[in-house]
Structure 1
Amino acid sequence: MKKNLLILLLITPVLTYSQNLLRNNSYQAGLSTYLTTGNQLPFWLQSNQYGEVPFEGNVIQGMVSVHHEYDSTYSVDQRLNKMAMGYGLRAVGNVGRIIDLRLTEAYLKGRTGPFEFFAGRRREIIGLVDTTLSSGSYIWSGNALPLPKVQLSIPNYTPILKNKLLSLKGTYAHGWFGSTDSVQNYYLHQKTFYARLGKPQWQIKFYAGFNHQVQWGGKPAVPFYDAKTDQIISSFPSDFATYINVVSGVSLNKNLDAGEIKDGVPFNEAFNRAGNHLGTIDIALDFKTHLGTFMLYRQSIYEDGSLFYLNNISDGLLGLSFKSSRLRVDLEYLDTRSQGGNTGSGNVIPQLRGFDNYFNNSLYEDGYTYLRRTLGTPFLMPFHQLSSNAESSTINPNFLYFNRVKAIHTSLSYWLPNLQAHAKYSFIESPGRYGSEQVLKNHSASICLLYKTGSMHYQLSVATDVGDFWKSRRGVQLSVVKKLSF
């Protein structure tokens, strides 16, 4: 009898919580069509869509999703609840020039106090930026399908002082890239750390922090001979000691003995660091007025050490946004043309190191992409996105060919009770690659109208590209989404 009572006491909370996970869910089902005059959809119809919208147009898309958010972050007496769980599933299928079915979100998350753990694919944007109107955060913009990963985080700014003057948030994650034509079964290491100075009710608050991404491990699809270290490379180091080097970012050449020890480490890593390291250092200022809230932000780029010596300090993303109850405006300027100069990252004079070649890497030949899409800003595009002949070219289709650009982007949203209007315009100019200068210019624009009535959402988007990248192309999106809650 006592044993049965004990079992009942143990399983009752589990059954109760399981029932709660099946309640208060949000469901969506949608149908869309994407039409274009060219071989590919215009830039702003398929960018920053988490990999759901294909490059190729003239498709019909179906979508279904279910999400269970945390029942409540705070209790009735405004105390933080101890535990909560949630999950999300989202499936998208395309039929037309391309036929595919993707599970674009599939995650389980749990929260205890200020900490959160999640596993699976989940939509995220990383970096200090206006997440709703930005052209895309430089390092993690929502342009590609989310990588599967496990992550421990403090997702919200959490005070560490009693007066709430200083608050922190951050993440620590391990992800899986899978395999490409060049590298098989390689990983992502990712961490972020951000601090906010200023109490929540203050009119002015200052933010600063950084993010760190590393592509590491795995093995080349075809073993190769590394002439500088005189050894055959059939796999890239992935033991625990390498993981510590990945996390810390320590140089493997601190003793100036790169390549002297034949340990299976290719010269590109032995001379530098384990894996492909990249990220941004961010600062932002939030200022509230009687008109609305202004946000000024700056993301500075680092890859091969140029930022430490300020060689590429002119590169980065600069933005100013404004939001009020009905109006939101964002203006951004992205510059990636310096890359520390054209003298090469291996220069013995640190102050002359350059040619960072953003998002590209000689070992991870598909660069900072996932399933053919750039993980960072969509303005740095793979070769196949710029050329219809990419697949037959000797250039890797995923190689970030024009990664030296300047871009001016402006975005505006206006809300009425049932209608939202959203307009974007971007000017992109590339001087070409170092040693192969070729100036290209392009204009991309879009207008979107979203009408909501009850549980029904209707959307019409029109977009166009004019210039050297894609000559001229136009496209349209029509969508209808049904939202339900149970």
Structure 2
Amino acid sequence: MYHRLRVGLLVVFCLSIGNLFGLFAQHSTDYYSLSMVGNAGNGIFAPYYLSANKHGLVTHSKSGYLRASVFKGLEMNKRFSYEFGIDLVGLMSSTSPVSYYSDGNLKTYNPGVSSFFIQQAYIGMKYRMIFISAGCRELTDEVVNFELSSGGLVWSGNARPIPQVRAGFIDFVDIPFTKGWVQIKGELAYGKFMDNDFLRDHYNYYNQYITTDALYHHKSISFRSNPDKPFVVTIGAELAAQFGGTKRYYEKGILIDSLTMKSPTRLKDFFKILFPSSGDGQTNEGDQAYYYGNHVGQWNLSAEYRFKDNSSVRGYFEWYFDDASGMGKFNGWDGLWGLEYKSGKKNWLSNVVLEYLDMTNQSGPLNWCPSDYNDPKLD
């Protein structure tokens, strides 16, 4: 039990059986857990440091949940291994209040209590260093320290897991002919957003579009220098996208059928998302003028030096982009800048993280596109 005196009260009770090896560690083991969490504070929403990095489980100032989990991890010392996980949550709080327009008037109501849901449910396997998995599981940004960071720029750790199929390298592997001096890691995923009910409940239906049944795509690639050396450099890129779905327009709460459009999800559209390209005549005008789907991503760079006493210091940078100007780093100091120290020992102070987050530029006042404006300002 511990207290956040400035922002509220968080009470935790946890009973665990087996070796509680980190859920996101590469060499995880089997374990079972049962936990109960409650928090209380002022206002509608939970304070940031009570809700951050909880994968959407804590959202209200007064809430709680009971959680039961069973996991089997991959055995990395075996050529072939399999994994699975099931994580059930009983929620003891209602969802966020909703404001909406009806007959030209703004109204508010509470959708009620979501009593039970599946937080994680997945299966997976690996052969040598190649893995494939299916289902929804809590994933985190691999660049930042999940427990101490403010969160990654593409994977924040603040939202519910997305059901998806993932495949790639389970860890870094040597690139042939580099004699271990350069390693590579990457993965590819397709999934589906499961937030239709949330969107419908929180949409005001007043002269706005709403898109439901959207699909999800994610890919990443990283290169790392020899990890056995004291100085290690890692550079990578990550891209996530929304595509497909049905877009509907409401005017003063009335659906305008003539403006409803369903984005195609043909086989070639999956390739258009994998290799970003313009949409065809069956997509909306924006996807035809630019790229099919909604893409966001980041470049990342980290450099770590390990001392002889096994302590280390690491600097890292995540550089977010939503258009060409951000991708080309024409967005000033925007990004997540971090410095991490590890003592290499299990004591009262084992890790220290210092971060600076700047999102003031946002790629300038206009998208980078000559057809939008002849001389877009980037300051």
TM-score, normalized by length of structure 2?
Answer: 0.75
Verify: 1:298 aligned to 2:317, yes or no.
yes
Cα pair distance change 1:209/1:32, threshold 3 Å = same
Which residue, out of 342, 346, 361, partners 1:338? 361
Query: In the alignment, which residue of structure 2 is the partner of 1:187?
Result: 215
Q: What is the CA distance between 1:68 and its match in structure 2?
A: 0.7
Cα pair distance change 1:135/1:309, threshold 3 Å = closer
Cα pair distance change 1:177/1:298, threshold 3 Å = same
One-letter amino acid of the counterpart of residue 337, structure 2: L
Which residue, out of 278, 281, 297, partners 1:279? 297
Q: What is the CA distance between 1:345 and its match in structure 2?
A: 4.1
One-letter amino acid of the counterpart of residue 131, structure 1: F
The 8 Å contact of residues 249 and 259 in structure 2, kept in 1 or not, is answered as no
Query: In the alignment, which residue of structure 2 is the partner of 1:204?
Result: 231
Query: In the alignment, which residue of structure 2 is the partner of 1:468?
Result: none
Query: In the alignment, which residue of structure 2 is the partner of 1:20?
Result: none
Which residue, out of 136, 139, 145, partners 1:124? 139
Which residue, out of 314, 324, 329, partners 1:310? 329
Which residue, out of 145, 158, 165, partners 1:150? 165
User: What SS is found at the alignment partner of 2:273?
Assistant: helix
User: What SS is found at the alignment partner of 1:190?
Assistant: strand
One-letter amino acid of the counterpart of residue 207, structure 1: T
Query: In the alignment, which residue of structure 1 is the partner of 2:184?
Result: 168
One-letter amino acid of the counterpart of residue 193, structure 1: I
Q: Distance in 1 between matches of 2:377 and 2:183?
A: 35
Q: What is the CA distance between 1:39 and its match in structure 2?
A: 2.5
Q: What is the CA distance between 1:124 and its match in structure 2?
A: 0.9
The 8 Å contact of residues 312 and 339 in structure 1, kept in 2 or not, is answered as yes
One-letter amino acid of the counterpart of residue 351, structure 2: R
Of the two structures, which has the highest relative contact order with CA contacts closer than 8 Å and spacing of 6 or more?
A: 1
Verify: 1:109 aligned to 2:124, yes or no.
yes
Q: What is the CA distance between 1:171 and its match in structure 2?
A: 0.7
The 8 Å contact of residues 214 and 278 in structure 1, kept in 2 or not, is answered as yes
User: What SS is found at the alignment partner of 1:342?
Assistant: coil
Largest Rg, 1 or 2:
1
The 8 Å contact of residues 53 and 146 in structure 2, kept in 1 or not, is answered as no
One-letter amino acid of the counterpart of residue 58, structure 1: K
Q: Distance in 2 between matches of 1:246 and 1:171?
A: 15
Q: Give runs of aligned pairs for residues 75-474 of structure 1, distance below 5 A.
A: 81-97=78-94, 99-100=113-114, 101-161=116-176, 163-178=179-194, 179=196, 180-181=199-200, 182-198=210-226, 200-222=227-249, 232-251=259-278, 263-290=281-308, 292-324=311-343, 325=345, 326=347, 327-348=350-371, 352-353=375-376
Q: What is the CA distance between 1:161 and its match in structure 2?
A: 3.6
Q: What is the CA distance between 1:155 and its match in structure 2?
A: 2.2
One-letter amino acid of the counterpart of residue 283, structure 1: L
Verify: 1:73 aligned to 2:76, yes or no.
yes
Q: What is the CA distance between 1:33 and its match in structure 2?
A: 1.7
Q: What is the CA distance between 1:297 and its match in structure 2?
A: 0.7
Q: What is the CA distance between 1:174 and its match in structure 2?
A: 0.3
The 8 Å contact of residues 323 and 363 in structure 2, kept in 1 or not, is answered as no
Q: Distance in 1 between matches of 2:373 and 2:174?
A: 39
Q: Distance in 1 between matches of 2:144 and 2:373?
A: 31
Q: Distance in 2 between matches of 1:201 and 1:350?
A: 50
Q: Distance in 1 between matches of 2:374 and 2:142?
A: 27
Give unpaired runs (5+ residues) of structure 1: 1-23, 75-80, 225-230, 253-260, 356-433, 435-486
Q: What is the CA distance between 1:44 and its match in structure 2?
A: 0.6
The C-alpha deviation readout for 1:151-204, integer Å capped at 9, x for no partner, is 002121111246211111111000101333311211011100001012x22000
Query: In the alignment, which residue of structure 2 is the partner of 1:33?
Result: 38
Q: Distance in 2 between matches of 1:134 and 1:351?
A: 39
RMSD: 2.4
Cα pair distance change 1:83/1:235, threshold 3 Å = same
One-letter amino acid of the counterpart of residue 71, structure 2: H
User: What SS is found at the alignment partner of 1:134?
Assistant: coil
Q: Distance in 1 between matches of 2:192 and 2:129?
A: 26
User: What SS is found at the alignment partner of 2:191?
Assistant: strand
Q: What is the CA distance between 1:335 and its match in structure 2?
A: 1.0
Verify: 1:62 aligned to 2:66, yes or no.
yes
